[in-house]
Amino acid sequence: MDFLRPETVVDLRNIRNVLIRMEDTIVFNLIERAQYPQQPSIYKKGAFNIPDFDGSFLDWLLREEEIVHAKIRRYQSPDEIPFFPNGLPDPILPEIEYPPVLFPHPNKVTVNDTIREFYTKDIVPRICISGEQEENLGSSSLCDVECLRSLSRRIHFGRFVAEAKFLTEREHMTALIKAKDIEGLDAAITNKAVEKQVLARLKLKAETYGIDPMTPNAPGKATKVDAEVVVEMYENWVIPLTKKVEVEYLLNRLEE
Amino acid sequence: MDFLRPETVVDLRNIRNVLIRMEDTIVFNLIERAQYPQQPSIYKKGAFNIPDFDGSFLDWLLREEEIVHAKIRRYQSPDEIPFFPNGLPDPILPEIEYPPVLFPHPNKVTVNDTIREFYTKDIVPRICISGEQEENLGSSSLCDVECLRSLSRRIHFGRFVAEAKFLTEREHMTALIKAKDIEGLDAAITNKAVEKQVLARLKLKAETYGIDPMTPNAPGKATKVDAEVVVEMYENWVIPLTKKVEVEYLLNRLEE
């Protein structure tokens, strides 16, 4: 992808366009998950008897999917970070030599554990009706895997955002990094106007994609996903975690 | 799911609601696939050196994913039919006793090979720009897997539609089935008014979900997926294949 090349990462507009496109994917994935009930047992360690695995059913499925995706080279791409990085198999596709865009290369900043935590504990209970539906445990977990993946990719994209900002304000940023001035870095990467725009756009997307356009005003018609929850998820989790990733990335930026 | 219970399958309105919801999933999946170029090599047998597998890269990935999904019980559900049914592993989740809804039970009507054929040869070249992008071979194939899955589920749902229609017109249908009157069955299951409505709704969905709602009238703004192709896919493939499934189902309906 273009944003993975050194010559385009400098341009923050390119990165913003990718981030905007990812919002669609995230909203689509949440709409798909919201079809099913909460299914608390898939998040509970020990709820099912899974051979040779010590974790929840969702963790097991996430791991199984990551094993397949490692084979198709997903985690060689600098914008993808697995939830279970240990012991993944080699790709069956020939290796790609990605030009270094992030520094140090490869970059290892990860907040995947926090993402899984807020998604399963704060988001699922608010977008899904309560209860368990035995026939859809698998389908619900697959939707979770997609939601987690798209959130992880979006939030860790903060590393590219940070690199772009670093390159445009190299001197100022270098001073802040050397001083380990976390507050200063946080202020330097924050753009309140853009954040407000993101939230407004997300609300509109969740509402637009979540309503049958043939009957947008049908009485009592519930939207497929609660737009408020989507907005609050960005406000309380996605944006702050992205900034956390950005700051952490920058703090390690000079170690070449 | 409710439509998998004998007491609700009779009600064609329930089934139609499920079909309408599946349209969203299919449109979302096509929008996701349309981000990437066509990637002709993923459909070509022998394009990659895949150990112990004689087929295209997409077939291999589809098979790998079906192995994982068999473990989470996907293909025990009467509305799911794998593309590679041979040698799938047992589920790790406890078995569910689905009450028989389709007859004979379990029902084996499948058009998956045709679905893969029309999707890869007719749809991908029309929704994606031409060319190959090495970094996204895996992502594109994963989108294909999702598209194929959702199309397969949608088209094979014809079996439930056929059963519902059979139950409401049992005498008439039984006579047509006994006479092996394929044309008569085709006429009996066809509802031109509903088909027209489906196509109109799909157009609107593809347009609505495929445009950034913040800038719906941005000049030169391409939609994320060509709505005409989505409509024509239903017109030329999804609806005719669903009817084929329905007729085939009915022809075998009396063999209890």
How high is the mean pLDDT of chain A?
93
Is residue B4 within 8 Å of residue B101, measured between CB atoms?
yes
Query: Quick check: A71 pLDDT over 60?
Result: yes
Average pLDDT score over residue span B201-227: 85
The ipTM, to two decimals, is 0.95
The tens digit of pLDDT for each residue in A185-226 reads: 999 999 999 999 999 999 999 999 998 888 877 665 568 999
* B162/B244 Cα distance (integer angstroms): 10
B135: pLDDT strictly greater than 80 = yes
pLDDT > 90: what percent of chain A?
A: 82
Asked whether residue A154 carries a pLDDT value surpassing 70, the answer given is yes
Contacting residues of B for A134, CB less than 8 Å apart: 96
At A227, the pLDDT band (50, 70, 90 cuts) reads very high
A 104-133: CB under 8 A from B:
133
Which tokens belong to B108?
Answer: 């084996």
Set A165, A205, A224, A253: catalytic member: A165
Q: Do residues A95 and A77 lie in contact, with contact meaning Cβ atoms separated by under 8 Å? A: no
Helix axes A170-178, A158-168, angle to 10 degrees: 110
Among A78-87, A92-101, B3-12, which stretch is predicted with the lowest mean pLDDT?
B3-12
Do you find a cis peptide bond into A82, omega within 30 degrees of 0? Answer: no
Is A121's pLDDT higher than 80? yes
**B235: distance to nearest CA of chain A, Å?**
19
Average pLDDT on A54-77 reads 96
Number of A to B CB contacts under 8 A, please give it. 106
Average pLDDT value for chain B = 93
Task: Check B138 against A74: CB less than 8 A apart.
Answer: yes
Does residue B87 surpass a pLDDT of 70? yes
- Tell me: the pLDDT tens digits for B115-125? 999 999 999 99
CB A234 within 8 A of CB A146: no
- pLDDT for A157: 96
| Closest by CA position to B32, among listed A131, A113, A25 | A25
Tell me if A234 sits within 8 A of A198, measured CB to CB. Answer: yes
pLDDT of B167-182, one tens digit each?
999 999 999 999 999 9
Taking 70 as the threshold, does the pLDDT of residue B222 lie above it? no
Residue from A208, A211, A221 to probe the interface with B (highest B Cβ count within 10 Å): A208
Residue A72: which residues within 8 A CB-CB, separation 6 or more? A91, A92, A93, B61, B137, B138, B141, B142
Lowest-pLDDT range of A85-89, A108-112, B8-12: B8-12
Q: Which fold has domain A6-251?
A: Chorismate Mutase, subunit A (1.10.590)
CA distance A19 to B70: 34
Specify the pTM. Answer: 0.95
